[in-house]
Structure 1
């Protein structure tokens, strides 16, 4: 079968892509493509945001390739444009089956089916997609056979009812082939808006914590599955020689949970003569000073920690399972070791006040990460937060395109949606316009990169600070 895997067209204009300035590969599609190629199918991936592809360009590419099946990968902000693209496929290629997968349709499968998808792949899609396409190739839309494919949803053409098949067990990650990077525009991925020889790697899946705002535990499961260090080293070594990669970004939520994995991986790097730098995320409760030093001493140029709040009560309520003392300790170690670390913070938990949010901003300044990320709490489908926000009627903006974490879509019990949006701007200005911070970035030679990350917002911050200085003394 000729299988076209794609992201929706024209999504590079969405906030989620415009603001970050980053271009990263769709690893999920690349994994599915690798499994399909191994099964003998002909696969094409269209990475539309990286190629900045318009709807017209995308449709022309789709039609010229003449696919037998089209598969879309959707996250919440890209879902509306995905549904529009499905409508176009229906008009131009009415006989081509459309499959939809990804985090958003996994939980909103009814919505996806009502917007033109023939079948929704729920959860991790590699083996589900392979089995599903095998059934479609052999038998077409045979409902009795489709009911035996685990991990899908479809609408019965006889009864008009949605059929939900049993969930598929998560795959053994070491049995999966490496992502099909040869189908991706590997020369176009960037960091800080600059082209850099970089490879994105997923070494594990799953998270045991189940934080109320995060989809990871509910999509990948609560059990952490870690690949073997040798398999990951093999994948990275191939990328070094094939794509001249010099930097690795681990897409895992928490590389700190697998200390043995990282020590083994670093040993593999040394044994193979791989001179690489890498960036990864971790949790403060999984970090020790010795392990942090080990990472910095062996190529880690950036650690990313989810701090979220300055309130211990909030950390407890959201299920984060960390303490303020652990946060302070880790960032003190970072200073002592001279490493680089970013901290993320979430503003707008429903029970917070404006003063609570300001305390989180001040806490960010106190622990003083190299960079700080401030986001608006966003109720993504599939999370406990989504159900909580619906229960208390807190969601005011139902346009999925706005679910980017940079735009407030819900109110709290003590603040309006507009006040939360203002707090996000306040947080960035308060943190980044400190003279000491700007001077530090200048000395480190990173100010240009920072401006690249913040984009026009940086100049807006400076202008607003100069014109309305009293506003930021409140």
Structure 2
């Protein structure tokens, strides 16, 4: 078995767009997701180690010496970090010329040929789910026999057949065992989750067809494959033994509530554990399911409202309506479920009027917190194809090369990229500078010292972000970063 390094590499300052994050950009408030995708294969390879450089604040110079201890290096890359990740591989191989190194993730899944052609330092890429692909590589199986692998041999690039998506998710190891072995729970924080938190996938894939969402279209598929209820609960129990300091479990599926009956079963099985948990959801979740989840320990749902304009919701194939969103929020408030609502500006059909409609809609919904993202046309998505075909992409570069901040790359007829960019901060101001929102934040700070410290820290980080954003805008002469946070993520 080859000694294998699974690396979420350093790139931009405070960048968390890699191995556990669906939104590939630097955020306005420092936060870190677990490198869950790397931890699955690491749990199957005894002589392996996961190194998560961003939350450990490791530099490339600090990571490079690790190459001496391994035969195989697997790096999770993204659209934003691809160039810096290639440079990291070069440094690793300079340190250990015998090292075999490759990339995984949606970026190389969509562009395997182009990725391998980018530099001779890259030996292979693994397409789509790579758990067993990495296991077979570590076991020394001949490369031409490994499904899902693209590689370079004798100066030529070869692409093996696709690997089928994994059906038996219960056969995979518990990622929280790898967290316990290799990671430090205190390094991970998300603004809307209690600290410290743990994230777990209870399933992979999403049955919905949102045109902008990267992962189901490029990586996990549009079918919700799930672990058994017993397997999920067993991991939660073991995770709480590993990490008794855990304040919250987060079920980070694309859409946890996609199967309402199963969500209710998990909630009922978790109830005796008396643990606090949160999850992703959709506005079409039934009252019965919401009630059952609340009774089973649910605290918060992360929900993608996206827009308040009915036509835009149709354009993006969301499968929801504003009326469904209002009903959902009414039910959540009745049941005492906290909601973190996500919105996207710049979606197909966006106009000045639809932006105003969405801002008014968000205020009417009044979720506890929101995040506002800039629509990003990732290669491999329907949204990307739409923008290319219509000629709406003003730039191919989705992030700024020095900061990792997302760039505003879409110009619509009658709505320029500059206006879309400015709409993000305007959206935040409209929502949070309301008496009701300010009163809610003030009350949280008064009654809970932990929340007070958290809000003050996040406020400082957000102001720092705005200062850095303004600097980049002045340097480049146009809008560069958005105030996007983490989600074009829920169904």
TM-score (norm 1): 0.87
**CA–CA distance in 2 between the matches of 1:291 and 1:211?**
23
- Name the structure 1 match of 2:49: 44
Matches within 5 A, 1:125-204: 125-134=130-139, 137=140, 145-158=142-155, 160=156, 162-171=157-166, 172-179=168-175, 180-181=178-179, 182-192=181-191, 196-204=195-203
* Distance of 1:207 and 1:405 partners within structure 2: 27
User: Is the CA contact 1:203–1:250 (under 8 Å) kept in the aligned structure 2?
Assistant: yes
Distance of 1:379 and 1:75 partners within structure 2: 14
Distance across 2 between alignment mates of 1:260 and 1:70 = 41
Equivalent pair of 2:43/2:174 in contact (CA under 8 Å): yes
Q: Which of 1 and 2 has greater Rg?
A: 1
Structure 1 residue runs without a partner (length 5+): 139-144, 463-474
Report Cα offsets for 1:182-234 as digits up to 9, x if no partner.
Answer: 12223422243999342211001111222110022221011111111111111
Aligned residues: CA RMSD? 2.5
Aligned residues: 443
Q: Per-residue CA shift, 1:116-144, capped at 9, x if unaligned?
A: 3211100111111112333xx36xxxxxx
Q: Would the alpha carbon gap of residues 246 and 436 (structure 1) be closer, same or farther in structure 2, given more than 3 Å must change?
A: closer
2:29 is aligned with 1:20: yes
Structure 2 CA distance for aligned equivalents of residues 350 and 291 of structure 1: 32
Indicate the structure whose relative CO is greater, using CA pairs within 8 Å and at least 6 residues apart: 2
CA distance in 2, matches of 1:193, 1:259: 23
Deviation at 1:373, TM superposition (A): 1.2
> In the alignment, what sits opposite 1:353?
351
Tell me the TM-score normalized by structure 2: 0.84
Structure number with the higher helix fraction is 1
Unpaired segments of 5 or more residues in structure 2?
17-24, 446-450, 468-491
What does the per-residue CA deviation read over 1:386-406, in whole Å, with 9 as the maximum and x for residues that have no partner? 122222332233335449785
Q: Which digits, 9 at most, give the CA deviation of each residue in 1:272-298, with x for residues without a partner?
A: xx221011111111x122321222233
Find 2:375's aligned residue among 374, 377, 395: 377
Deviation at 1:412, TM superposition (A): 2.0
Whether the aligned pair in 1 keeps the contact of 2:67 and 2:96 (CA below 8 Å) is no
Residue 247 (1) aligns with residue 248 (2): yes
The one of 58, 62, 82 aligned to 1:53? 58
Aligned partners of 2:464 and 2:456: how far apart in 1?
8
Provide the rounded CA distance (Å) in 2 between the counterparts of 1:226 and 1:20.
Answer: 32
Q: 1:399 aligned to 394, 397, 400, which one?
A: 397
CA distance in 2, matches of 1:392, 1:422: 23
Distance 1:270 1:365, change over 3 A: closer
Shift of 1:339: 2.3
Q: Is the 8 A contact 1:197 1:243 kept in 2?
A: no
For 1:49-74, what per-residue CA distance to the aligned partner results, in whole angstroms no more than 9, with x for missing partners?
110111111113333xx210111011
Q: Find the counterpart in structure 1 of residue 87 from structure 2.
A: 84
SS at match of 2:438: helix
Greater CA drift, 245-254 or 290-299: 290-299
CA distance in 2, matches of 1:221, 1:77: 22
Whole-Å separation in 2 of the counterparts to 1:461 and 1:11? 16
Distance in 2 of aligned mates of 1:410 and 1:234: 45
Q: Does 1:433 align with 2:429?
A: no
**Alignment correspondent of 1:282:** 281
Distance 1:296 1:450 in 2: 25
